[in-house]
């Protein structure tokens, strides 16, 4: 599976990781809290990835610093969540 962001038409600053077969992770571990504005950007990234390969499952890899509205928005967009410390 391809994990190069430019393959999906994304910025090279975005970090993608292969989690399992047909499942890719967007790695976003930052010190500050992920708010709804950030979640909208992440949902747009997920949409771009799905436009290239609709069969891929997408997971956001982040810390516990994420607001509940962001979690709800990502769930509606079909993006799973994986918490790392």
* CATH label of the domain that carries residue 33: 3.40.1350.10
* Enclosing domain of residue 25: 5-83
Radius of gyration of the chain (CA): 12
CA dist., res. 80 & res. 61, Å (int): 9
User: What is the tens place of the pLDDT at every residue in 53-76?
Assistant: 999 999 999 999 999 999 999 999
Give the tens place of pLDDT for each residue, 7-41.
999 999 999 999 999 999 999 998 899 999 999 99
Do the beta carbons of residue 34 and residue 65 sit within 8 Å?
yes
Global pTM reads 0.93
Number of domains in the chain: 1
d(CA 85, CA 69): 21
């Amino acid at each position: 599976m391809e994990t190069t962001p430019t393959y999906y038409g994304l910025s090279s600053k975005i970090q993608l990781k292969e989690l399992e077969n047909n499942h890719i992770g967007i790695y976003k571990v930052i010190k500050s809290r992920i708010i709804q504005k950030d979640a909208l950007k992440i949902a747009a990234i997920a949409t771009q990835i799905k436009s290239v390969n609709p069969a891929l499952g997408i997971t956001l890899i982040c810390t516990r610093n994420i607001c509940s509205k962001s979690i709800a928005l990502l769930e509606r967009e079909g993006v799973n969540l994986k918490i790392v410390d």
